[in-house]
Amino acid sequence: EKGGYEFFMLKEMYEQPKAVTDTLSPRLKDGDIVIEELGMTDEEIRAIKKIYIIACGSAYHTGVTAKYVFEGLARIPVEVDLASEFRYRNPIFEPNTLAVIVSQSGETADSLAALREAKSHGIKVLGIVNVVGSSIAREADNVMYTWAGPEIAVATTKAYSTQLIAHYLLAMKFAKVRGEISEEVFQEMIEDLKRLPAQIELLLANKERIQRFANRYLATEHVFFIGRGIDYAISMEGSLKLKEISYIHSEAYAAGELKHGTISLIEEGTLVSAVLTQEELYKKTLSNVQEVKTRGAFVLAVTNAGNIEIEKSADYVIYLPKTNKYFANSLAIIPLQLFSYYVSLGKGLDVDKPRNLAKSVTVE
């Protein structure tokens, strides 16, 4: 059943190009994005005043990325909430708000409760769900399925990647209907979307190099992940992946926030992963890289191909193929998934079933 792979997580990472294609292609038609299951007229899309994205764990991290994408492209204000917080904070429900609940399993107790909370206030709920017929899929007003197929490993990889695709498609669709994007840019972005599966495959092919690197860090105790904007969202996911399966303590930090406290933890040899995919923020994060470097950190940088001057400041660099800036998460997360996987494997842990964790969290 593992198809020759040692663990489901590796198999599922390798299924990402297909999962992305399967989620993407049914919604691309004649140069347009068609999401029939959205159940919204263009008029309703134009009327949206605010979007709540509500989820837990990695699904929440896709929401953090989506906030940048929706706000940047469609100019719709987005609030991203942890489902376990949303329920108890007495959120403000106004007309023309759309609630998006993101969940692989469709059974996460807090996400389901948040869905019910939103619905009971008359807010339209869209589910982005992987498991067909699950509770969230059944109770949402509309469901946009991610077609990742069954995910067995506790650490999510392919479902995460398909959730990102669902957000991109929605944001692009909303941007187009609301007249916020030119046809030319829209078409370029569709081409970039279509290139993602092959680009993910290319990054996966780099696995031996990442395994060699990971094997140097099996005994490490703390890792910091830094980035700005979407790169911060990527860092949050990279950090969760590592903690979850390798039991190494890690933290994701907005790079500009380091000097407000955390930099005191950096010492000789501390591993810092820096993500720099957003060109307009590149120089800012580069200076944060230099700051941690001066304090003795070992820096792993994930950045766009061509940014070779980073090699003066970072110790180890992974280059990403070119894509639209809003899609960078889909590429940058691949080496970070592989890194976590190989640290866990190298430590001889049960990669697929980390201690204390369940695949779907059906208790609050």
As annotated, the active-site residues are: 359
Nearer to ligand M6R, 58 or 313 (CB): 58
Residue 69: its H or E element: helix 57-69
What is the binding site for ligand M6R (CB under 6 A)?
Answer: 56-59, 103-105, 108, 111, 154-156, 240, 244, 360-361
Q: What's the closest the beta carbon of residue 163 comes to ligand M6R, in angstroms?
A: 8
Neighbours of 145 (CB within 10 A): 19
Beta carbon of residue 291, minimum distance to ligand M6R (angstroms, whole number)? 30
Q: Minimum Å distance from CB 361 to ligand M6R?
A: 5
DSSP string for 85-146: HHTTS-----TTEEEEEEESSS--HHHHHHHHHHHHTT-EEEEEESSTT-HHHHHSSEEEE-
β-strands 32-33, 28-29 pairing: antiparallel
* Spatial distance between the Cα atoms of 125 and 132, rounded to a whole number of angstroms: 17
- Do 221 and 248 contact (CB within 8 A), yes or no? yes
The residue with its CB nearest to ligand M6R is: 57
The DSSP bridge pattern shows strands 222-227 and 271-276 to be parallel
Who's near 235: CB < 8 A, 6+ residues apart?
A: 225, 226, 227, 252, 253, 273, 275
Complex with ligand M6R: residue 120 or 356, whichever CB lies closer: 356
Q: How far is the CB of 259 from ligand M6R (least distance, A)?
A: 29
User: Among residues 51 and 56, whose Cβ is nearest to ligand M6R?
Assistant: 56
